[in-house]
Structures are given as C-alpha cells and as structure tokens.
Amino acid sequence: MSGTWTVLSVALVAWGLLFFYLVRLERRIKELERR
C-alpha cells in the first residue's frame, strides 16, 4: 500500500509541476502579446 501512495504522490506532484509551468508560460505569453 505504501508503494501505491508513493507512486500516486509522485504522479500528482509531477502533474502539479507541469500544470503550474503551463500557467506561468501562459502568463508570460500574455505579457509578450500585450507589448
């Protein structure tokens, strides 16, 4: 069971990191489009 939680946690953290990277990227693109 602990293995399941470990892999799930890694998957969720990886998805979270990708999500926030994309949000930041979108914000940066918006800034560049405004210029």
Partner 1 sequence: MLLRMLLFAWIAAALIAGFLWAPLVPVLGDTTRVFYFHFPAALLTCVAFGWSTLHSVLYLARRDLAHDAQAAGAAELGLLFCVVATLSGSLWAKAMWGSYWNWDPRETSIFFLMLIYGAYLALRSAVDGEARRARLAAIYSCVAFVAVPFLIFVVPRLYFSLHPEPVLNARGKPDIDPRILLVAAAMFAGETALFAWMLALRVRVARLARAREGA
Give dist(CA 22, CA 2) in Å, integer.
30
CB of 19 to partner 1, least distance (A): 5
CB of 28 to partner 1, least distance (A): 10
CB of 2 to partner 1, least distance (A): 12
Q: DSSP of the chain, one letter per residue?
A: -HHHHHHHHHHHHHHHHHHHHHHHHHHHHHHHHH-
Contact positions vs partner 1 (CB under 8 A): 3-4, 7-8, 11-12, 15-16, 19, 22-23, 25-26, 29, 32-33
